[in-house]
Amino acid sequence: MDGIIPLYKDRGMTSFDCVSRLRRILKTKKIGHSGTLDPAVDGVLPICVGSATKVVEYLMQSGKVYQGELVIGRATETEDFEGKVIEQAPVTTPLTDEQIRAAMAKLTGPITQIPPMYSAVKVNGKRLYEYARAGEEVTRPVRHVTIKRFELVRNRYDAVHHEQHVFFKVACTKGTYVRTLVVDLARSLGYPGAMKWLTRLESGGFTIDQTLSLNDIQALVAHQTIDRYLYPLDYALKDYPTMELTASQWKAVQNGGWLRATEVQPAADEVVLKYDGATKALYHRTADQHYKPTKMFSVK
C-alpha cells in the first residue's frame, strides 16, 4: 500500500499514537506523519504510507492554517489549558477589536520565537518537556518563522471572570508555535494569556474537509476500499513543475545521472521528472548548468 492519507487527529492522542494505530489497521510498518500535533490539538495530520514516506519532508514544507481561542487574563506553565495557572491579571476594561487587530498586525510577517519549555524540541539530547518536568531551566533555541495571516474571528469579554476571549485564525510556516504566538499577543496587550483550544485546518496541502478519522480508515480497510482514498505521492509535489523523460534520459536518471540544463523544460530551479507518467525523481539546477538529483523516488 502506497499513498498519502489526510488523517483527522482527535484531541487526546499523540501523533505517534495515530501512527501506531494505523500500522495495525493497515498492517504495514512503513508509515510516517508530516508535522507533529500536540495531544491537546485536533485537526489535519497528513500520513504517508509505503513509498510515499519519501515525500514527508515536502508535505512538511507547506504552510499550515489553524483556528483557536486565546484567553487573556491568565497564564499557565504550558501556555495552554493543559498546565497549571501561574499568573492572573483581571482585564478590567474590555479590549476592542481594533486593539487586538493592531497587536496582531505587529506579529504578522517574519518573527522569532523561543519554543515553550513544554514542547518536544530537543536540547542536548533531551526534550524540553523533560527538563520542564524535572524543574530544570535550559537555554532554548531561537526559531525564525513567518506568520502569513493572523486574523481576529471573534472577540468576547467575560465580565464575570474579567477575561477576554479572542477567537483567531492563523496561517504560518512550519515550526511555528501557535500557543507561543497567542501568548505573545496577550503580552503585547499588557496581560498574561493562555491558549484554550486549537484546531489545525490545513496542512500538507490538505484541508480539514478532506480528512478521514481512524474509525473511517478502519471501516474502509474492512470493506477493501481504502485505495480509493489514498492520494498519490505526486500530491506532495504538485507545486513543482514537471517534465516527462525520454527513454534515454530515464536510463541516465535511473543511475542518478545528471541532465544538461538545455535538456530540461521548463527551466526551473527544481523539476519533478516523470517517465511513462510516473514520478521518478526531483532534480535541481546547479551553478554549472546541470540538473542533479535532489531526491529519487523510484528507479524502476
pLDDT at 41: 95
Helix axes 178-188, 97-106, angle to 10 degrees: 120
Q: How far apart are CA 115 and CA 128, in angstroms?
A: 9
3-62+205-235 is classed in which CATH architecture?
2-Layer Sandwich (3.30)
pLDDT at 254: 92
CATH 1.10.10.10 fits 240-296, yes or no: no
- Sheet harboring 278-285: ordered strands across? 242-244, 270-275, 278-285, 290-296, 259-260
pLDDT at 300: 85
pLDDT at 50: 92
Residues 38, 42, 80, 184: which is the catalytic one? 38
Helix axes 214-222, 15-26, angle to 10 degrees: 10
Q: How far apart are CA 190 and CA 294, in angstroms?
A: 47
Residue 212: Cβ-neighbour burial (10 angstroms; 0-12, 13-18, 19+) = middle
Local structure of 258: helix, strand or coil: coil
Q: How far apart are CA 44 and CA 41, in angstroms?
A: 10
Whether residue 38 lies in the annotated active site: yes
CATH superfamily of 64-201: Pseudouridine synthase (3.30.2350.10)
CA angle 29, 30, 36 (to 5 degrees): 100
pLDDT at 70: 98
Question: pLDDT tens string for the chain (300 positions)?
Answer: 899 999 999 999 999 999 999 999 999 999 988 878 889 999 999 999 999 999 999 988 888 999 999 999 999 999 999 999 999 999 999 999 999 999 999 999 999 998 777 777 787 788 878 888 888 888 888 889 999 999 999 999 999 999 999 999 999 999 899 999 999 999 999 999 999 999 999 999 999 999 999 999 999 999 999 999 999 999 999 999 999 999 999 999 998 899 999 999 988 999 999 999 999 999 999 999 899 999 999 888
Q: What are phi and psi of 143, to 5 degrees?
A: -110, 140
Radius of gyration of the chain (CA): 23
pLDDT at 47: 95
- Domains of the chain, by residue range, sit at 3-62+205-235, 64-201, 240-296
Residue 131 is inside which H or E element, if any? helix 128-133
Q: How far apart are CA 142 and CA 211, in angstroms?
A: 33
pLDDT at 137: 81
Contacts of 233 (CB under 8 A, 6+ apart): 2, 3, 4, 51, 52, 54, 55, 279, 297
Tell me whether domains 3-62+205-235 and 64-201 share a fold. Answer: yes
Q: What are phi and psi of 293, to 5 degrees?
A: -65, 130
CA distances from 98 to 104, 153, 156, 157, 169 (A): 10, 12, 13, 14, 16
Local structure of 20: helix, strand or coil: helix
